[in-house]
Chain A
Amino acid sequence: MKNRYIGKPLRRNEDARLLTGQALFVDDVHIPGMLHVAFLRSDHAHARIGSIDVSAALERPGVVAAYTAQDLGDYWQPGPLLVPPPPIKDIVFHACTQVPLVRDKVRHCGEALAAIVATSRYIAEDALDDIVVELEPLDAVVDVERALEPASPRIHEHIESNLAAHVVQEKGRYETAARQAHRIIKRRFLYDRGVAAAMENRGVVANWDEKSQQMTIWDTTQAPIPIRNGLAAMLGLSESQVQVIAPFIGGGFGPKIMMFYPEEVLIPWIARELKCAVKWIEDRQENFFATTHERGQVHEAEMALSEDGRILGVRDVFLHDTGAYDPYGLTVPINSQCTLLGPYRVPNYYSEFKAVFTNKPIVTPYRGAGRQHGVFVMERLLDIAARELEIDRVEIRRRNYIAPDDFPHNHEIIYQDFAPLTYDSGNYLPALERAVEMIDYHKFLEKEKARLRAEGRYAGIGIVSYVEGTGIGPYEGARVTVEASGKVCLVTGVGTQGQGHYTSFAQVVAEQLGVEVSDIRVITGDTREFHWGTGTFASRGAVVAGNACHAAAKAVREKILKLAARLLKVPEADLVLEGGRVQVKGKPDQAIQLGDLARQANPLRGAVTPGTEPGLEATAYFGPERGATASGVHAMLVEVDPETMMVEIKRYVVVHDCGTVLNPMILEGQIQGGVAQGIGNAFYEQLHFSDNGELLNASFMDYLLPTALDVPPIETDHIETPSPLNPLGVKGAGEAGAIPTGALFVQALEDALSDLDLEINEIPLSPQRLFELVEAAKLERTVVS
């Protein structure tokens, strides 16, 4: 049957509310008598605490309470390990998790030392000045390579070095491949990332109601249900006493799936201590320290190739900077390790990494979540191989793609979901060919480039491939109810951070029930409405929650058909659901409205057949056997001013395959947003730390996000290779836009500056850094000639 709603570029149900300021965000929650919290944060990155004296702060009018680690008693506990290490042979992993307030030692700048509760945030901030802290600054561990030297200061004294983890994964034997290779490419790559910089910072409001013994928490989290369960346990309450609401959230991008942030643990505790409502809203400056980052990796990588450019093997050894704590386990470096393989056949792979503690804010997944780093290494190795073997860049990729009949494709290493890295499906060549055509790759290289060069203009082209492991388990659920009004209510446990769930999930349900998408009310992220599920992460909303919506809607559809068949006295097969009613095929006058049916399914008097469930309602769950692998190709045209090193992106093309497309407009939005963050990562955003581990650019004045003026229009097209692992055939699309941009940017720049034989093996770049690289390349040439 042809889809009626799925695949249509429908306008978003939520936009009217969002655009007119009617949507509820955490900071919109106002409760009479609510108190406000400000945190005293450490200026030092590494320091031993002597004493923290809050007595003067307590004297200030308007200050209600002040807390340090000592005041928390038994409630003071290091946070849970959110993601345990995967079952990989001989894995070394040291869990060192963040604390609610620093007790003995500061481990990164911005770590919270004390909390002030006052009648306004202004007063709370005034009182921060009254706190007297005595501490002994220690040498900071900043550089990820030096962190492992024996002489390095130690961040966690109970482990013998700053090594957080050591993981080796191997497939085949790289040494054998290397021995047979025609050519070996060996390079060192640096890839650094920054902060997610969601438009809305984090925030928590907690309200303890003494009379009803209920705790209500509004939290900018991507995982309201696990937050509820965890907090209930920590506070010694029943799960039913705690309601966590993740209302509209202004962007998540990963850092908001991290749990538990110190503030998340403290604000509810304070609310119960003081028996009132308490609010903390993170400000932008705090966000740079107190919300998690992504950060640098240093790769020493090599690729063994045959004469005709086929990959025989890859060896990669890298360091991963995990920051001061590692509550999110190894998700980021495992993603790097796995995603490096990309859409390519790699018969032999040796990958080894060390995760390293440094005195910097915590690293957890941020859109792409380590995949960028891996893609960068692989794509760079292929670019260099193409140049050395004199094979076209597109051709070398084509030659190495996994063939469409080679799926499911098992890479024989363990992925972030603890299962073998197996691609469910894929068909890579059509996307490559389409991107080549859209950007006019051959014409540019054969004609345009030389023409522009003759005018003194330096233009270059880039084209790269990537895959994105998406939609991992364990599961999500949804409940669909047809109400007496004939409208439908859809509830799911995942939270929403701007992805358009109110529309795409509604489209999935509308497809089954034949009601208008605008007649479906969607509720997400409120534990009182739905309390089973894990959260929004790993590009899994559409795959896991979307298929749960599908399953619930199908179950309701069956109930509708069964009841309607009985009432209309026709076989179910003769019925159609359309326009909010059930109708006998070809007989428009023999029909019943869904609302009437819902009423009949919920009688007020009389008797029902024993065993009857009331209502047209169903709850269903979906858990895929493993993730679905999306893929794509990005291409770009750039122009560089060779004097100023300012770069202009002339065109940006994305051909993307995320299986069945639910709503192409929403999908394009996802891709564009991702590309914007990718461009930020490649050319604008960089965290600068001093030798003492202070963050030098913790504001939007010096941490440069690309603006609407810096991000070009993005031309997109889609290939649909449905996933066989879920009924909708969808694959995730949340992170794709952001993943290959760095690799692409560098390739296009090298092409633009091809006169110089410049090789760029690092991200992020800036005009300043490009200037340095170009000057060095020029110097090398004069030395050589």
Chain B
Amino acid sequence: MKPAAFDYHAPESLEEALALLNEYGYEAKLLAGGQSLIPTMNFRLARPAVLIDLNRIKELSYIEKNGSGLRLGAMTRQRALERSELVANHAPLLHETMPFIAHPQIRNRGTIGGNIAHADPASELPAVMWALDGYLKLQSAAGERRVAVQDFFVGMFTTDLEPEEMLTEIEIPAMFPRSGWAFREIARRHGDYALVGVAATVRLDEAGRCEDARLVFFSVGEGPVEAQLASDALIGELPGDALIETAAALAAEADIDPDGDIHASADYRRQLARVLARDTLRRAFERTK
């Protein structure tokens, strides 16, 4: 459980980091909070030849208002997000989610950028960012691009990032009026990756009909899984218990196709998905009021 040998760089600026990344590309790994990378290196599942430590780059750690939305620096610690008033006010779904990510000790080190870039299908933040319609800023020595969260996740632990690119910022758009949100997960123990979890966002039109609904699951597939049929069933309708039950059942039975593993069978995951979809939709619609 000791990592293989590697070269280590600790740049002080983003520019320097991007130059190093440009130089080493595939051979390098960025070290953010290290809460996912270091264990995989200790198990020798990852053997980067070069580590580029981002922890000295102050310019990558911030929580800023962007109109009514937010901009979050990639190196912002998860604990800082959890405690941020800006996040509580402008991205309450994110605020509600943070305590479910690992344990305080891990959130003290773990970063939002590292979490999203790691693309663990059991991770909360990719699904939450998806439900919030977030955007990601990807930078390299050659330039930058802005990618919708929905287009970023390619598969299990794989993203749209090129080897020379770094995720530098996460953008969360403003909430519309008459929006509601909710988050819930079922984990074996406090702080574990969830067996199943879901982030829900809904919006009503002036007549009180559902205008938009997103139900984004995690731990049920290769990455965040959006329940499209459930959304279709909700949009244009007046929310109510029967409708919510129908949407939840559609999500669990038709939208997701979970695998079984040692902790949960596919059937059990569907059962949990139905319960969580129902509960989060209920809560999200309540919050539109």
Contacts and interface: CB of A to CB of B under 8 A. Distances in A.
B264 interface: yes
B190 interface: yes
B265 A772 contact: yes
Contact of A704 (B4, B189, B267, B272): B189
Nearest to A125: B2
B262 A767 contact: no
Nearest to A771: B268
Given A684-B188, A704-B189, A121 B265 contact: no
Interface string B175-191: 00000000000101111
A771 B196 CA distance: 15
A702 B264 CA distance: 12
Nearest to A282: B1
A122 interface: yes
Given A285-B1, A285-B43, A688 B262 contact: yes
Interface in A302-318: none
Contacts of B191: 707, 709
Interface string A637-678: 000000111100000000000000000000000000000000
Contacts of B2: 121-122, 125
B211 to A, nearest CB: 29
A121 B271 CA distance: 47
A646 B185 CA distance: 12
Given A122-B2, A643-B271, A643-B275, A707 B265 contact: no
A766 B187 CA distance: 12
Given A283-B1, A768-B268, A709 B189 contact: yes
A709 B190 contact: yes
A122 B186 contact: no
A768 B264 contact: yes
A646 B186 contact: yes
A125 B272 CA distance: 42
B263 interface: yes
B5 interface: yes
A283 B44 CA distance: 14
Nearest to A285: B1
Nearest to A286: B1
A675 B5 CA distance: 42
A284 B5 contact: no
Given A697-B262, A766-B263, A771-B271, A706 B4 contact: no
Contacts of A768: 195, 263-265, 268
A284 B2 CA distance: 11
Interface in B263-279: 263-265, 267-268, 271-272, 275
A704 B262 contact: no
A702 B263 contact: yes
Contacts, number: 62
Contacts of B43: 285, 699
A704 B1 contact: no
A710 B262 CA distance: 20
B262 A702 contact: yes
A710 B189 contact: yes
A768 to B, nearest CB: 5
A145 to B, nearest CB: 21
A644 B43 CA distance: 33
Interface in A498-534: none
Contacts of B275: 643-644
A691 to B, nearest CB: 14
B188 A767 contact: yes
A766 B263 CA distance: 8
Query: Which of under 10, 10 to 19, 20 to 34, or 35 or more describes the interface residues of A?
Result: 20 to 34
Contacts of A646: 186
Interface in A690-723: 696-697, 699, 702, 704, 706-707, 709-710
Interface in B96-123: none
A707 B106 CA distance: 15
Contact of A126 (B5, B264, B272): B5
A102 B256 CA distance: 47
A768 B43 CA distance: 28
Contacts of B3: 122
Contacts of B262: 686, 688, 696-697, 702
Contacts of A121: 2
A38 to B, nearest CB: 8
Given A643-B275, A702-B262, A707-B190, A122 B268 contact: no
Given A704-B188, A709-B189, A767-B188, A284 B1 contact: yes
Contacts of A775: 267
A644 B186 contact: yes
B248 to A, nearest CB: 11
Contacts of A709: 189-191
Contacts of A707: 189-191
A686 B264 CA distance: 13
Contacts of B4: 126
Contacts of A126: 4-5
A122 B263 contact: no
Interface string A117-150: 0000110011000000000000000000000000
A644 B272 CA distance: 6
Contacts of A644: 186, 271-272, 275
Contacts of B186: 644, 646, 767
Contacts of B265: 768, 771-772
Nearest to A709: B190
B189 A684 contact: yes
A253 to B, nearest CB: 20
Nearest to B278: A643
A644 to B, nearest CB: 5
B186 to A, nearest CB: 5
Interface in B1-16: 1-5
B5 to A, nearest CB: 7
B245 to A, nearest CB: 13
A556 to B, nearest CB: 48
A650 to B, nearest CB: 17
Contacts of B189: 684, 704, 706-707, 709-710
Nearest to A643: B275
Nearest to B275: A643
A122 B195 CA distance: 35
Interface in B210-228: none
Interface in B161-217: 186, 188-192, 195
B271 A767 contact: no
Nearest to B3: A122
Contacts of A696: 262
Contacts of B190: 707, 709-710
Contacts of B5: 122, 126
B268 A767 contact: yes
A655 B261 CA distance: 39
A607 to B, nearest CB: 64
B276 to A, nearest CB: 9
A502 to B, nearest CB: 30
A116 to B, nearest CB: 12
Contacts of A684: 188-189
Closest 10 A-B residue pairs measured CB to CB? Answer: A283-B1, A709-B190, A643-B275, A688-B262, A122-B2, A771-B268, A125-B2, A768-B264, A768-B268, A710-B189
11 contacts: A121-B2, A122-B5, A125-B2, A125-B44, A285-B43, A696-B262, A709-B190, A709-B191, A710-B189, A767-B268, A771-B268
Interface of A: 121-122, 125-126, 283-286, 643-646, 684, 686, 688, 696-697, 699, 702, 704, 706-707, 709-710, 766-768, 771-772, 775
Interface of B: 1-5, 43-44, 186, 188-192, 195, 262-265, 267-268, 271-272, 275
Given A707-B191, A771-B265, 5 more contacts: A643-B275, A706-B189, A707-B190, A767-B268, A772-B268
